[in-house]
Amino acid sequence: MLSASTLNVTKLRIASNPTNRFVLDCMDALSLLRKHPFLPIDDTPQERSYGWCAWNDLTDTEWRETHPSIGGSYLAFGLRIDLRRIAPALLKKELAIALKEEEARNLEQGKKFINRERKAEITAQVKLRLMASALPTPKSIGVVWDTEKDTVYFLSVNDKEVALFCELFTSTFNLELEEAEIDYERTAPSELLAYLWFNAELTEGNIGGGLYIWDTSKITLSGATATVSTVDSVEEAKLALKLGKTISSLSVHMKNEMENIDCDCVMGGHISRLNGIKGIPLGADAEDEDAAFLEQVYVLEKLFSYVDRAYDKHLDTLHDCAMPLARWRSGMSLTEEEREAAQ
């Protein structure tokens, strides 16, 4: 189950050519995962290792007690990444000691300085020695694959982790993954976020079909010459918007009583990524873990479908909202006709 109270999730979809597809029912997913398991690096100086592990146990890389198949068409497993890091201050100290020792040896031999190649060699030796003594830090990132809808949910929004996951997924299953992207010829992520903020004030967040997206209590803005800043005051954010800053992220509340969804999250520069999702039932006391898991995935699916609906409505109302949105952005009041046209 999804055990964290706050989730960061990237939604991906299978992008492979249909001729390269295979029917999942005819293959042993577990055997493919076992061909790319996580391999420990505790007894080596290797800096990083990654591979598949069980969904609920990062130490289980052979699926001894669990199976990735959950609830029919869903597969759940984990991407384990172990990373060995050296504290910069420690590396600096040890390197300084090693260089002083080398300088002392040089003086004995009548040499005046350490050349560039030797410095690079000493640096590599020190780093290797420290790496060998440093314990790697483990991390497991959940993966949920809906094989019927060709959708994959990866529980991270970190660019490097998403790229690493896509690479290993393709190596394992011979399937390419892709993220849904904004149609940059028609709009931009900042414009979608501005529209959601605008709509939250104009219609109390009504997107239609019982869906409401509002809140905007925390807004991050950026500008050509401005550093990114988080603004807790809506009025302060409006002033920054009026001065030409653009919206980088927006905290939103998504609610649909008809579908029993009531969650908070942060939307940013990707329509396929949601940060800080709160409100997904944890199901810690659930007797049927599979049923609790499917309920959690249902909420995830709905949240991303709401993003799609909001994005579609934004595109559908681009023409009618252009003038009212520009006036609102500049701090001007809207006429009743403009309000009606923008809804």
Q: Cβ distance 111 to 104 under 8 Å?
A: no
In Å, how far are 6, 9, 136 from 292, measured between CA atoms?
17, 18, 33
Burial of 165 (0-12, 13-18, 19+ CB in 10 A): buried
Q: Cβ distance 217 to 251 under 8 Å?
A: yes
Position 270: which residue type? H
Tens place of pLDDT per residue across the chain (343 aa) = 576 788 999 999 998 654 444 445 445 788 889 999 999 988 887 889 999 999 889 999 988 877 787 767 889 999 999 998 888 898 888 888 888 888 888 888 888 788 888 888 888 888 888 877 778 899 999 999 998 889 999 999 999 999 999 999 999 998 999 998 888 888 888 899 888 888 888 888 888 877 788 776 788 888 644 455 666 667 788 888 888 888 888 888 999 999 999 999 999 989 999 999 998 887 655 567 778 888 889 999 999 999 999 999 899 988 888 888 888 888 777 777 767 766 6
Give the integer Cα–Cα distance in Å for 214 and 229. Answer: 20
Q: Which long-range contacts link 161-167 to residues 24+ away (Cβ below 8 Å)? A: 161/79, 161/81, 162/10, 162/12, 164/50, 164/79, 164/81, 165/79, 165/141, 166/12
Tokens 């000493």: give the residue.
Answer: 122
Q: pTM score, two decimals?
A: 0.84
